[in-house]
Structure 1
Amino acid sequence: MRYRYVGPAELRDQVVAVDAVAAIDTPASLDARLARRDRGDLVEPLTFVVALDGMLRLAPRRSEHVALAGGTDVLAAGEMTFASAETGWCVAEVTNQSTGYCPDPDSWPAVAGALDHVGVRHPGNFTDKVVFRRCPTCIERNIVRDDDFTCALCNSALPARWNFMTD
């Protein structure tokens, strides 16, 4: 499934160009991206997207997903924490936390495919799954917590199924 950007228009409108260095297509490119960090466990997660070509892109946590994606649709988005492993790097934690794209937890296969392509071990699924829903009444984005499908802004019922539009 493709995820279209659904966050604030002013963030999307600030996107200028995609950082080609952010693309991770080999273990060496991942190592180069993480080289500036301590080789021990990395405490701060990185922002990630899986582009439409299946390529993993990484940026510092405070980066906007839409900027990392160059303003385009993505196959997945969230945050990822890496740890040192005997043979390079592994993913310690990964989540679909992106309020700009609001990806469904069903986006995991795109993340796994991108990591498998680079040869990075991963936990096999999101370590923290975020459930996003758009309120049909006030149209706001919501994060569902504790299985409470109630809009945080207007108290309307949220749908049980993911309901953001895709192309």
Structure 2
Amino acid sequence: MRRSLGHRRARRHYPYVGPEEVRVPISSQVAGHPITSPADLTEWLARQDASDRREPFTFVIDQSTTLRLAPRRSEHVVCAGGAPVLSAGEITFEPDGTGWRVSEISNQSTGYCPEPHFYAAVQSALDAAALDHPGRFTVPFIFRRCESCSQFNVVKDDHYVCAICDEPLPTSWNADTPASPHPK
């Protein structure tokens, strides 16, 4: 099992940056289920459909560094109860003989667009819940908003160019920059 390093890194709180129409109905939906121990995870997975247990689940790390889970295809902003998060993405579990371990984890969340190098909050949450994990995002994503056309992009192969308008993308995280009211 991976354990946290003795030092603490600065943690970024990611605001919701996705479409407003997704955020609107969250007050009527239940936030993600908190996982603070292997027993919590086993109990929550037992309530999921058996075929769904092989697919990734939606996760967020809330502001108190707690892992919250929701079924796949759930919106991250709903899982977070509408609040900012320390991280978000998709997570897959596999049996490890005595319980469950994290087999795959990504920061794939277009609602929060978390940076891949901020795994420390994820590590803290998984360590606190005593869940074995890879110690990094197994599938990292880099998100950038195009400053010319305002579209979100996934950067692939370090190619920082907008897939929509072919303009260069910033190398620094900018997902919380408001979209231009009049894209070029």
User: Could you tell me the TM-score, scaled by structure 1's length?
Assistant: 0.92
Larger Rg: 2
Residues 1:105 and 2:128 are matched in the alignment? no
Q: Would the aligned equivalents of 1:134 and 1:142 in 2 still touch at CA under 8 Å? A: yes
Which has more strand, going by share of residues? 1
Specify the alignment match of 2:22 in structure 1.
Answer: 11
* Larger mean Cα displacement after TM superposition, 9-18 or 143-152: 9-18
* Larger mean Cα displacement after TM superposition, 75-84 or 146-155: 146-155
Residues 1:66 and 2:77 are matched in the alignment? yes
Specify the alignment match of 2:37 in structure 1.
Answer: 26
For residues 114-129 of structure 1, the aligned pairs below 5 Å read: 114-129=125-140
State the Cα distance separating 1:20 from its structure 2 match: 5.8
Instruction: Find the partner of 1:154 among 162, 165, 176.
Output: 165
Q: Would the aligned equivalents of 1:17 and 1:67 in 2 still touch at CA under 8 Å? A: no
Secondary structure of the residue that 1:15 maps to in structure 2? helix
Secondary structure of the residue that 2:118 maps to in structure 1? helix
5+ residue gaps, structure 2: 1-11, 178-184
State the Cα distance separating 1:37 from its structure 2 match: 4.8
* Larger mean Cα displacement after TM superposition, 157-166 or 44-53: 157-166
Whichever residue aligns with residue 130 of structure 2, its letter is G
Specify the alignment match of 2:6 in structure 1.
Answer: none
Cα deviation, 1:50-104, whole Å, max 9, x if unaligned, reads: 0001010001111000001011100000000000012311000000000000000
Q: Would the aligned equivalents of 1:75 and 1:110 in 2 still touch at CA under 8 Å? A: yes
User: Could you tell me the TM-score, scaled by structure 2's length?
Assistant: 0.84
Whichever residue aligns with residue 54 of structure 2, its letter is V
State the Cα distance separating 1:38 from its structure 2 match: 7.7
Q: CA RMSD in A?
A: 2.0
State the Cα distance separating 1:153 from its structure 2 match: 1.4
Specify the alignment match of 1:85 in structure 2.
Answer: 96
**Cα pair distance change 1:114/1:149, threshold 3 Å:** same
